[in-house]
Amino acid sequence: MAKNLTTKILEAHLVEGVLKPGTEISITIDHTLLQDATGTMAMLEFIAMGLPRVKVGLAAQYIDHNLLQTDYKNADDHAFLTSAAMKFGVNLSRPGNGVSHQVHLERFGVPGITLLGADSHSPTAAGISVLAIGAGGLDVALAMAGHPFNLPCPKVFGVKLTGKLPDWVSGKDVILEMLRRHTVKGGIGKIIEYYGPGVATLSATDRATIGNMGAELGATSSIFPSDDWTRRFLVSQGRGECWVPLAADEGATYDEYDEIDLSAIEPLIACPSSPDNVVTVREVAGTKVDQVVVGSSVNSSYRDLMTVCRIVEGKRVAPGVHFHVNPGSRQALENVAQDGGVLMLLMAGVSIHQSGCLGCIGMGQAPGTDQVSLRTFPRNFPGRSGTKNDKVYLCSPETAAASGLAGVITDPRDLAKRMQWPGVSNPEPYLLDDSGIVFPLPPEEASVVEIKTGPNILPFPDFEALPDTLRAGVVIKLGDNITTDHIMPAGNKVLPLRSNIPAISEHVFEQVDADFPARALATGNGIVIGGENYGQGSSREHAAIAPRYLGIRVKIVKSFARIHKANLVNFGILPLVFKDQADYELFSQGDQVSFPDIRRLVENGSSDIPLLLNGREIITFLDVSDRQRKELLAGGTLNFVKNKN
């Protein structure tokens, strides 16, 4: 029977279960990826397991998020992660070496492997046919310890690509077209597999862009074939021996289908404040622009940066526009510099920053009040930039550069009247420099390394097991599409607290309801009520740990985003769904709710979980695996693992 590529890779890594959508499967993990915003807590969780060394094929720790050193906290975290990486056999990418996804694509990724990353944009690795999945830090810590990764078996969404992109259009416009068609909920429970003759016209870095922003569709992952473009990229990185050809069998089938004619794609832009609020650039052309930022976890490759360099060469950024470039890696910047791009940017009035996430995670580069910011970033959720009521648009590097020169949103095709399309290709070969990577020490040397912990790095809190009966109060009621940025904000004030759960918990729902933390603590056992797609966005497990620390024991919503639901289970919060969505209207902040005999119901495998609200019985639904039930009973996954040992 003909098989699609996703099925082939999953079958090769399957440990338990069957590939039937919706049922739980366990797969082996070949590579793990941590970044510093998630990695500090994940490393503490790994240390709690008591292992002398990681048991995964390759583990990598990147320092790319918390780069601003406004006080001791980030520097202390970096010292902790450096010493822990040395001790436990983890590859370490130092501050300024680049964004995890770009560097892993360049220096570590291998076609056909599985990667589990504590960052929702890990599927950037689809650019070289890696099946990469974002997850919470605890799941990644478990994979580092040699455990398989458990997940609901996804559907496979086949997207056939035909034709070839026109000039001035790039991979960013392809994924924006996907978001325009399918919204931020269109990929939930699915792996998106791209196939067809159009794939052969897309470079590895264009594919990486599409894979990266598959997370904005809610997809479990994305995947491309491994073909001659993949081989050329790996050869140019001095890693040609890693290449293997991979593709779907002829006649392979998919659970869902779509088809995109690349030749029909035009420049697109996501308007404030959601990645799926997509229109053509022409529809908003002429809107005044105050800030332009190119780079970060997406659109920060050599091809993207050098395209911007060629567009602005010999010109000046429009008066009043602040234009920033964030290279995705030191390697990308060095290659741009070698080809004269740095001088092109500087002479045009562009500011060049260190390689890192920076403004994408709210670490600087916040726009001013009422200012319009054009970004090549993957997300424009409200307030994510660091500015309340921000006006952030998402676009391609071509659109960003054209708009930065004009001072208003501009269709890059308008530049054809004044210049040739740059037509930039990735280098063959790249100038290579691994000086920013610290490779693992031999075990005998690693064993004597002392782990450094600063005063902001606190032990993981203890969480109680699920009680026999639970009485709890509704602390907050929310609507649809609540993101992890709503729950646990990013930015330079909050991110440095990732290793200090008591301190970071003071910021839960800060942008939505600043009184939430105090009210949750006063309530004791708390409940959060939400709408559709609750917890979309980042993989940050702090959006589960911090509410749990404040006493939240239950979340009842219309539907959950995959990673957030898994994180809730990991930290002992019951993820319940309204069986009748109309029941959502019955709940109000301050209501008292009881769950009679809740422990027995979870233990006995009941899917229907009754609760009492003002004397009225309401049925909610608990859709978790047998393994997850045991973890909920224990008060979280770490408790469950410790109890087993």
Domain of 608: which CATH number? 3.20.19.10
Pair 251, 291 in one domain: no
Q: What confidence score (pLDDT) does residue 592 get? A: 96
Which of these is catalytic: 94, 182, 379, 562?
A: 379
Q: For residues 85 and 92, give the distance between their C-alpha atoms in angstroms, rounded to a whole number.
A: 6
Task: Please check the confidence at residue 644 and state whether its pLDDT lies above 80.
Answer: no
Helix (H, G, I), strand (E, B) or coil at 282: helix
Q: Determine how many CB atoms are found less than 10 A away from the CB of residue 512.
A: 15
* Residue 341: domain span: 268-416
Last residue of a domain, one of 233, 264, 295: 264
Task: Please check the confidence at residue 66 and state whether its pLDDT lies above 90.
Answer: no
CA dihedral 68, 484, 22, 24 (to 10 degrees): 50
Instruction: Please indicate whether residue 386 or residue 54 has the higher confidence score (pLDDT).
Output: 54
The verdict on residue 313 lying in a domain is yes
Are 156 and 3 spatial neighbours (Cβ–Cβ below 8 Å)? Answer: no
The DSSP H or E segment spanning 80 is helix 72-88
Q: What confidence score (pLDDT) does residue 248 get? A: 98
Contacts of 386 (CB under 8 A, 6+ apart): 359, 362, 364, 365, 366, 491, 492
Pair 476, 358 in one domain: no
How confident is residue 125, by pLDDT bands cut at 50, 70 and 90?
A: very high
Pair 304, 228 in one domain: no
Q: For residues 126 and 194, give the distance between their C-alpha atoms in angstroms, rounded to a whole number.
A: 10
Task: Please check the confidence at residue 69 and state whether its pLDDT lies above 90.
Answer: no
> Average pLDDT of the chain?
95
Task: Please check the confidence at residue 21 and state whether its pLDDT lies above 90.
Answer: yes
Q: Is 370 exposed, middle or buried (0-12, 13-18, 19+ CB in 10 A)?
A: exposed
The verdict on residue 447 lying in a domain is no
Q: pTM, whole model, 2 decimals?
A: 0.92
Last residue of a domain, one of 416, 446, 481: 416
Q: What confidence score (pLDDT) does residue 357 get? A: 87
The verdict on residue 52 lying in a domain is yes
Q: What confidence score (pLDDT) does residue 493 get? A: 83
Which of these is catalytic: 13, 30, 36, 65?
A: 65
Q: Is 304 a catalytic residue?
A: no
The verdict on residue 576 lying in a domain is yes
What's the CATH number where 341 sits?
Answer: 3.30.499.10
How confident is residue 595, by pLDDT bands cut at 50, 70 and 90?
A: very high
Q: Is 413 a catalytic residue?
A: no
The verdict on residue 599 lying in a domain is yes
Q: Which amino acid is at 47?
A: I
Task: Please check the confidence at residue 37 and state whether its pLDDT lies above 90.
Answer: no
Q: What confidence score (pLDDT) does residue 348 get? A: 98
Are 29 and 143 spatial neighbours (Cβ–Cβ below 8 Å)? Answer: yes
Which of these is catalytic: 30, 31, 36, 64?
A: 64
Q: What confidence score (pLDDT) does residue 458 get? A: 87
Domains in the chain: how many in total? 3
Pair 212, 290 in one domain: no
Q: What is the pLDDT of residues 274-319, one digit of tens each?
A: 999 999 999 999 999 999 999 988 999 999 999 999 999 999 999 9
Q: Name residue 619's beta-bridge partners.
A: 610
Q: For residue 291, what are the CA distances in angstroms to 19, 317, 319, 481? A: 46, 11, 11, 27
Arithmetic mean of pLDDT, 351-355? 95
Structure tokens at 578: 């309204």
Question: Which of 30-44, 331-345, 394-408 is predicted with the least confidence, judged by mean pLDDT?
Answer: 30-44
Pair 219, 309 in one domain: no
Task: Please check the confidence at residue 375 and state whether its pLDDT lies above 80.
Answer: yes
Q: What confidence score (pLDDT) does residue 638 get? A: 86
For β-strands 616-621 and 608-613, DSSP reports them as antiparallel
Q: For residues 421 and 153, give the distance between their C-alpha atoms in angstroms, rounded to a whole number.
A: 43
Q: For residues 343 and 340, give the distance between their C-alpha atoms in angstroms, rounded to a whole number.
A: 6
The verdict on residue 35 lying in a domain is yes
Q: Is 538 a catalytic residue?
A: yes
Over 504-567, what HEC string results? HHHHCCCCCCCCHHHHHHHHCCEEEECCCCECECCCCCHHHHHHHHCCEEEEEECCECHHHHHH
Are 558 and 530 spatial neighbours (Cβ–Cβ below 8 Å)? Answer: yes
CA 408-411-414 angle, 5° bins? 105
Q: For residues 587 and 95, give the distance between their C-alpha atoms in angstroms, rounded to a whole number.
A: 46
Phi and psi at residue 576, to the nearest 5°: -100, 150
Task: Please check the confidence at residue 338 and state whether its pLDDT lies above 80.
Answer: yes
Pair 515, 559 in one domain: yes
Pair 256, 304 in one domain: no
Pair 161, 177 in one domain: yes
Q: Is 207 a catalytic residue?
A: no
Pair 241, 328 in one domain: no
Q: What is the pLDDT of residues 387-427, one digit of tens each?
A: 889 999 999 999 999 999 999 999 999 999 899 999 999 99
Q: What is the pLDDT of residues 490-546, one digit of tens each?
A: 887 888 888 899 999 999 999 899 999 999 999 999 999 999 999 998 888 999 999
Q: For residues 488 and 623, give the distance between their C-alpha atoms in angstroms, rounded to a whole number.
A: 24
Q: Is 379 a catalytic residue?
A: yes
Q: For residues 593 and 573, give the distance between their C-alpha atoms in angstroms, rounded to a whole number.
A: 15
Q: What is the pLDDT of residues 221-245, one digit of tens each?
A: 999 999 999 999 999 999 999 999 9
Last residue of a domain, one of 370, 397, 416: 416
Task: Please check the confidence at residue 562 and state whether its pLDDT lies above 70.
Answer: yes
For β-strands 24-27 and 14-16, DSSP reports them as antiparallel
Contacts of 395 (CB under 8 A, 6+ apart): 172, 176, 267, 268, 269, 270, 281, 374, 375, 376, 403
Q: For residue 459, what are the CA distances in angstroms to 111, 166, 503? A: 37, 54, 13
Q: Is 390 a catalytic residue?
A: no
DSSP string, 195-245: ESGGGGGS-HHHHHHHHHGGGGGTBSEEE--B-HHHHHHHHHTT-GGG---
Asked whether the CA dihedral 174, 175, 181, 187 is positive or negative, the reply is: positive
Helix (H, G, I), strand (E, B) or coil at 11: helix
Q: Which amino acid is at 103?
A: V
Report CA 371 to chain centroid distance, whole Å: 26
Pair 626, 535 in one domain: yes
Pair 352, 481 in one domain: no
How confident is residue 205, by pLDDT bands cut at 50, 70 and 90?
A: very high
Q: What confidence score (pLDDT) does residue 538 get? A: 82
Are 563 and 535 spatial neighbours (Cβ–Cβ below 8 Å)? Answer: yes
Q: What is the pLDDT of residues 606-636, one digit of tens each?
A: 999 999 998 899 999 999 999 999 999 999 9
The verdict on residue 464 lying in a domain is no
Q: What is the pLDDT of residues 240-286, one digit of tens each?
A: 999 999 999 999 999 999 999 999 999 999 999 999 999 999 999 99
Which of these is catalytic: 30, 119, 173, 227?
A: 119
How confident is residue 645, by pLDDT bands cut at 50, 70 and 90?
A: low
The verdict on residue 460 lying in a domain is no
Arithmetic mean of pLDDT, 367-371? 95
Pair 116, 256 in one domain: yes
The DSSP H or E segment spanning 601 is helix 598-603
